[in-house]
Amino acid sequence: MYKHSYASRIQNHTNPAARLLLEIMERKQSNLAVSVDVTKAQDFLAIIDAVGPYVCMIKTHVDVIEDFEPSLVRTLQALSAKYDFCIFEDRKFADIGNTVALQYASGVYKIAEWSHLTNAHPVPGPSVVTGLKSVGLQRGRGLLLLAEMSTAGALTTGSYTEDAVKMARANRDFVVGFIAQRRMESVGASKTDDTTGEDFLILTPGVGLDVKGDGMGQQYRTPREVVVGAGCDVIIVGRGVYGTDYSLTAKIAGQAKRYQDEGWKAYLERLTA
Ligand code: S5P
């Protein structure tokens, strides 16, 4: 059982984005990240305004927003300051180093300018980290590698996952952890997760309290299964929080509070088990 508290782990990280996330988690007593996957800027902002008090992080897919304008990012940053949450653009970079550096810094979205954390598929090998790091490190940004996915039949298993952990170990100033379904410290190591002396942030999607899947391959586990059973740090919840009617902001806020409570209760159970 991984028993280290979020507060005690801040000192294990030099990366400013990793430290900020752990500080916010402790301050707000929240290990909930809400993934806001909606296509209208107005809905996007209304959901963030509703869930803001309950989350440590907002995860975005900016490229699905149909009426995106650069001002939306400034509003998002203002909400991040108002409600005290980190921003994680779930870009899933997966190209050669030179291309991902351009995609991260430039284009319409200029992700590196506003997103504390982003992520990458390890599939191109270490050069994907080198490219992103050349843009993000100097700005105090952090990277998560997708070591495992939540979907049925995902190819992210065995030696692929092990190689993702190796890529992270070689870049600990920038790679702060993983998108994964369990802890990763013991992968490729002969010790248990909590005795390696390593500290990766484990952010875990595929979390839901009411349903087990979405009919398109997504697989859900409960916050307790993820945090106590698998030792993960942050639960990422999308549709389980905001449902299908985005105008029901009081209900959305209630769901966020429900997931915050469940996630934190599970964390306290893990610490004291
Ligand atoms: O393995 C993964 C990795 C990610 S980042 N499985 C996922 O579902 N995600 C993302 O988490 C996905 O892109 C989506 O934004 C979110 C899950 O949303 P939900 O509505 O199924 O909770």
What is the ipTM, given to two decimal places?
A: 0.99
For the question of residue 95 being annotated catalytic, the response is: yes
Q: Would the pTM count as exceeding 0.95?
A: yes
CA distance 33 to 227: 13
Full residue range of the structural domain in which residue 192 is found: 6-272
Residue 64 lies in a domain: yes
For the question of residue 173 being annotated catalytic, the response is: no
Closest CA to ligand 1's atom 10? 205
Give me the number of domains the chain comprises. Answer: 1
Read off the tokens for 201.
């942030």
What pLDDT does residue 102 have? 99
CA distance 40 to 163: 38
Task: Report pLDDT digits (tens) over 13-69.
Answer: 999 999 999 999 999 999 999 999 999 999 999 999 999 999 999 999 999 999 999
What pLDDT does residue 1 have? 83
Residue 96 lies in a domain: yes
Residue 1 lies in a domain: no
List the CATH number of the domain containing 83. 3.20.20.70
Q: Please list the ranges in the chain whose pLDDT falls under 70.
A: none
- What distance in angstroms lies between residue 172's CA and the mean position of ligand 1's atoms? 24
